[in-house]
Structure 1
Amino acid sequence: MTRGGEQIIRRVDSRVVYRNRWMTVREDRVERPDGSPGIFGVVDKPDFALVIPAEDGGFHMVEEYRYPIGRRTWNFPQGSFPDGVRGEPEALARAELAEETGLRAGRLERLGFLHCSHGTSGQGFDVFLATDLTPGEPAREPEEQDMRQRWVSRAEFWELVDGGRITDDSTLAAYALLMRYEGTAG
């Protein structure tokens, strides 16, 4: 089968093998462009928003224990709407920023949309730059009860990357969009 001159993989059938309130895992039987059969495991998760709260030449970041990797890491605030709730990406970005950091953005600018793990999931995320920040109290979810927040300089950001304390691909990809936006990307 082709689409626009490009050969694509065709889904023959699909079955859900696991589901919880955060994700669905399905197994798809497929037919490759050459006609041979194949299989894909796909993780369906809702898109999310990631916010870069910029202030005074640095960023407000959050740190929490990440169960799948067994350690604490730093990242930009991010999250998705709960349990099937739908809404605009900007509203989600504002909600996540306030929930995780307590900060409110006077200005929120969309920098782009990216996919975070396109080999196993269709999940993507909108990246926003938040400025003109006003402090407030966070309203974290139970899963975020160990979350910490602090401001980091741009130099410290890279120190955290070099030291393995920032390993989140979405945070690094968002930083690349920020560099492009600022005209500092090569």
Structure 2
Amino acid sequence: MVEHFWDGTLIPSSPWALLARRELAANPFANVRVDTVRRPDGSIGPYLAVDTADMVRILAVCEGHVLIVEQHHYLTGPCWQLPGGRVDPSDGGMPGLGPDPMIAAARELLEETSISGRLTRLATWEPLPALTASRTHVYLAADVRTDDRRAQLDDTEADLAKRWIPVRDAIAATLDGRVRCAPSAAAILTLALRPRFPRRRLRRRLSASRRLGWLWCLTTLVPPRGRSTTTPRR
């Protein structure tokens, strides 16, 4: 049940109740369990859930380009997405608080692409809330640079390739199905909606009729004509 107040405040109180729990399968990456629950309508029945680590995705931006990795996934096939991976227990944070997603993001970016940068948190999402409580933490990487250390890909990433693409192409890729990773697609559009991007040049380039909505924000990230190269200049 969710109580609604006149000022828009929402105070959730769970209509679910856990009655019993049984583990079905477990490995170092995930646990599959079935809970016996009391549902919101009062009925009792099973609920299948998966416990797995949180994930990270990194949106690296350089001169109007976004860093994309292309990889063939076993379950879904070829896909474009942002660099990232799971948060490991070794990604140590403050004592007693568990691993730090920002440390995981810096590690994954370096391991997959040999790139490092200044990270700031962009958003946190729950991609599959009906199946797992695992979250995806997304970070923006600015001031990116190539690191001397080589990428350290695991055995499932041998075919991983990286490419810098113009932001306008990254947006198009989220709409035509090339970027099918939901947090990656959401991150590309979320970045475009952030208000902190400079708008002075945008005002010169857009007519008044186009300074509206998300299109107005997206255009701030599009580089000037003649600089839409496949690799950012450093």
Residue number among 52, 67, 81 corresponding to 1:60 in the alignment? 67
Which residue of 1 is the match for residue 128 of structure 2? 117
Scaled by the length of structure 2, the TM-score of the pair is 0.71
For structure 1, the 5+ residue unaligned runs are: none
Scaled by the length of structure 1, the TM-score of the pair is 0.88
Residue number among 98, 103, 116 corresponding to 1:104 in the alignment? 116
- RCO higher in structure (CA 8 A, sep ≥6): 1
SS of match in other structure, 1:43 = strand
Cα distance in 2 for residues equivalent to 1:26 and 1:57: 44
Q: 4+ residue runs of structure 1 moved beyond 3 angstroms?
A: 1-7, 182-186
1:159 aligns with 2:164: no
Q: Is the 8 A contact 1:2 1:8 kept in 2?
A: no
CA displacement at 1:5 relative to structure 2? 6.8
SS of match in other structure, 2:75 = helix
Aligned length: 183
Which has more radius of gyration?
2
Aligned-CA RMSD value: 2.2
Pair 47,7 (structure 1): closer, same or farther in 2 beyond 3 Å:
closer
SS of match in other structure, 1:144 = coil
What residue identity is the alignment partner of 1:79?
G
- Aligned identity (percent) is 26
For structure 2, the 5+ residue unaligned runs are: 4-10, 92-98, 197-212, 216-234
SS of match in other structure, 1:54 = strand
Comparing both structures, which one devotes a greater share of its residues to strand? 1
CA displacement at 1:121 relative to structure 2? 0.7
Which residue of 1 is the match for residue 51 of structure 2? 44
Cα distance in 2 for residues equivalent to 1:5 and 1:157: 36
Q: Is the 8 A contact 1:111 1:181 kept in 2?
A: no
